[in-house]
Amino acid sequence: MTFHELNLKEQLLEAISYMGFENATPVQEQVIPIILEGRDLIACAQTGTGKTGAFVLPVLNKLVGKKDTHIDTLVIVPTRELALQIEQQVQGFSYFIHAESKAVYGGGAGADWDSEVAAFKNGADVIIATPGRLISHIKMGNIDFGRLKHLILDEADRMLDMGFIDDIMAIISHLPKQRQTLMFSATMPGEIRTLAKRILNDPAEISLAMSKPAEGVDQKAYLVHEGQKEELLSRILKGKAEYDSIIIFTSTKSKVSDIVRALRKAGYAAHGISSNLEQDEREEVMRKFRAKRIRILVATDVLSRGIDVKEINMVVNFDVPHDAEDYVHRVGRTARVNAIGEAVTIVTPREVRHIRQIEKLIGSEIPKLQPPEELGELPQWTSGEHVRKKGSGFKGKPRQGDKGRRNWGQKRRGEGEKGRR
């Protein structure tokens, strides 16, 4: 379906065309008419499906011709990165509408606070905010939501995971009861449905491709010991010289620096991003990554949901995420909106149970590839699992699992083989 078929106003269609879009994604095709009707909505859609445009476009459509300076729309998000991403889309799509927007988040300098207060007073049609920062402004009496018409919760499941439920309810207590409320979530656990019942009024419900990586993602996994990860990563990157945009996800901030250091030593111009950097430093790194001036970016899960970078060729999970849903969000950075991409996961014996959980969630087995023999002695998958040699990009004979039904085909420390699994 084209955007022209969605009954959007000409000024907005002109901006959409200017940005190079023509056809709506499935989530946009289903969600936009519901929002234009004025109904509350709860929508479940995976990362990379175009859900930001699904709520930004109909809201901006309603802002065409708006004369007053009152805040019309509040978007609450879990991270500053997501706030900035959404504000960029609002600015792009509102080019011919002249709607004002402001991203509101913590961690910046005092001047950022002052610019936020100025935006509230001078009139910002759309506010995109993290809960903590917004609560601070509300307590200081800096913001008036008296004529708010739209409340949008994006990445609602993530906000609940991060403990923002009390802040969200506190914010909602300051909003008009007569409003349109939209909730977007990548997953639909019981807590989300409970929240929806509290804040939504007879909502429409849309669910698209929940908890599934995009079709264009080529997924694969390697099994190595912890001390072999960096060498394997270097060898993986060596075969991807044609890729100009790669994200490597790790589990901790301290590992970001270690991986960057190891990659630079191996000759790769890698850069890291985590909450250890100041906000302006993080924004500068992201600007360079979007502009392809940084080819390899090492990050924690703070970026798994909060960035929008086109044409990422590869995602590497240096550590397997403990939460299976985080795998979907990490992998969702590549193969966005019908593109193709590659997702490689480096697994250690202690992380295999997390891979099992991921495979159960996504409903398919992740292909297991054989690491290069040059890494030394390698752990083995169970004998019942197929390990592919062809297409792995590495030389060497595949290692077969030992007989029996032990977890790894090798003795665990302090355990005998008999009677153990």
Q: Is 402 a residue whose pLDDT tops 70?
A: no
Domain boundary, last residue among 187, 208, 229: 208
Domain boundary, last residue among 208, 232, 248: 208
What does the pLDDT look like over 81-104, one tens digit per residue?
Answer: 889 889 989 998 988 888 999 999
Mean pLDDT of 136-144: 95
pLDDT score for 251 = 85
Coil, helix or strand for 34?
A: helix
Q: What is the rounded average pLDDT for all residues in the chain?
A: 84
d(CA 366, CA 46) in angstroms, rounded, equals 18
Residue 396 lies in a domain: no
Residues 130 and 20 occupy one common structural domain: yes
Measured from the Cβ of residue 365, the count of other Cβ atoms closer than 10 Å reads: 14
What does the pLDDT look like over 163-218, one tens digit per residue?
Answer: 999 999 999 999 999 999 999 987 778 888 899 999 999 999 998 755 567 677 89
End-to-end CA distance of the chain: 53
pLDDT score for 140 = 95
The CATH number covering residue 296 comes to 3.40.50.300
80 touches 106 (CB < 8 A): yes
Residue 401 lies in a domain: no
d(CA 353, CA 341) in angstroms, rounded, equals 25
Domain boundary, last residue among 160, 191, 208: 208
Residue 398 lies in a domain: no
- DSSP letters for 115-168: HHHHHHHH--SEEEE-HHHHHHHHHTT----TT--EEEESSHHHHHHTT-HHHH
Residues 298 and 193 occupy one common structural domain: no
Residues 226 and 189 occupy one common structural domain: no
Residue 395 lies in a domain: no
Radius of gyration of the chain (CA): 23
What does the pLDDT look like over 345-401, one tens digit per residue?
Answer: 999 999 999 999 899 888 889 999 999 989 999 998 875 566 665 444 454 333 333
Residues 116 and 165 occupy one common structural domain: yes
Residues 144 and 162 occupy one common structural domain: yes
Residues 135 and 253 occupy one common structural domain: no
pLDDT score for 310 = 67
Distance from the Cα of residue 348 to its chain's centroid? 24
Residues 225 and 373 occupy one common structural domain: yes
Residues 263 and 179 occupy one common structural domain: no
Coil, helix or strand for 200?
A: coil
pLDDT score for 304 = 58
Residue 145 lies in a domain: yes
Q: Are strands 314-317 and 246-249 parallel, antiparallel or unpaired?
A: parallel
Residues 222 and 201 occupy one common structural domain: no
Q: How far is CA 20 from CA 3, 13, 39, 354, in A?
A: 12, 11, 29, 39
328 touches 211 (CB < 8 A): yes
Burial label for 355, CB within 10 Å (0-12, 13-18, 19+), is buried
In which domain, by residue range, is 324 found? 217-388
d(CA 350, CA 371) in angstroms, rounded, equals 17
227 touches 382 (CB < 8 A): no
Residues 34 and 67 occupy one common structural domain: yes
Phi, psi of 253 (to 5 degrees): -65, -40
What does the pLDDT look like over 291-348, one tens digit per residue?
Answer: 899 999 998 876 655 556 667 899 999 999 887 777 887 887 776 555 678 999 999 9
pLDDT score for 346 = 97
Number of domains in the chain: 2
Residues 296 and 362 occupy one common structural domain: yes
